[in-house]
Chains A and B, each alone.
Chain A
């Protein structure tokens, strides 16, 4: 079964320090990988995605993520955290195709709450 794991319910970081939000996946083949951020009572905002090529993907608001095929991981990172980065972060994966030829579903992790302290 396909799944996405975000092992940390919450990550606490001091402002200005680097942050990492972890994500591992279990999906057959080479999936597409995404990160989304959700602020309170809002929908999800797209941060970045990995399709192919360079393992380091740069996205919005200074975030980046590193794809590691051998470890099936796609950790989200930022060199210097801001208080305004405090939010709920979701990792998501989608397989490249299904047997019917249609789009695969986007599978979300449980989410990690990032708290950046001044």
Chain B
């Protein structure tokens, strides 16, 4: 199946710093990428959807200035957590979907990035 990678797999940072997480589709072109946040023992919460070359669409309640998303190419999307605070500590998962008009296309998920803000 299609492979999605994330880097880094884990990161620890000081409060107030910014952290960038990369998401790559390794063997397919992802016209749409998604960023999710997962709290312990909870389901995935969609943060934003991005299409290559256009601005991301953020879900209600997600601060676009805090969680900067860039989808510069068909194989790379980045999530930057700006001025991170301890409450931003979480497991962040990206997902990618190939093109086509069929909504049945499954999404492929990255392995996740665990962010810990001290």
Contacts and interface: CB of A to CB of B under 8 A. Distances in A.
A103 B43 contact: no
Given A90-B44, A103-B32, A34 B110 contact: no
Q: Chain A contact residues: over half helix, strand or loop, or mixed?
A: loop
Nearest to B45: A108
B8 interface: no
B6 interface: yes
Contacts of A96: 103
A32 B103 CA distance: 8
B109 interface: yes
Query: SS class of chain B's interface: helix, strand, loop or mixed?
Result: strand
Interface stretch (A15-23, A44-52, A78-86): A44-52
Interface in A61-118: 90, 94-97, 103-106, 108-111
Nearest to B49: A105
A81 B13 CA distance: 41
Nearest to A31: B103
Contact of A49 (B46, B104, B109, B111): B104
Interface residues of A, number: 24
Contacts of B41: 111
Interface of B: 1, 4, 6, 32, 34, 41-44, 46, 49, 91, 93, 95, 97, 103-104, 106-112, 114
Contacts of A43: 4, 6, 93, 95, 109-112
Contacts of A90: 43-44
B2 to A, nearest CB: 9
Given A108-B43, A111-B43, A45 B112 contact: no
B109 A44 contact: yes
Contacts of A110: 42-43
8 contacts: A41-B111, A42-B112, A43-B4, A43-B110, A44-B95, A46-B106, A49-B106, A111-B43
Given A32-B104, A45-B109, A95-B103, A109 B43 contact: yes
Contacts of B6: 43
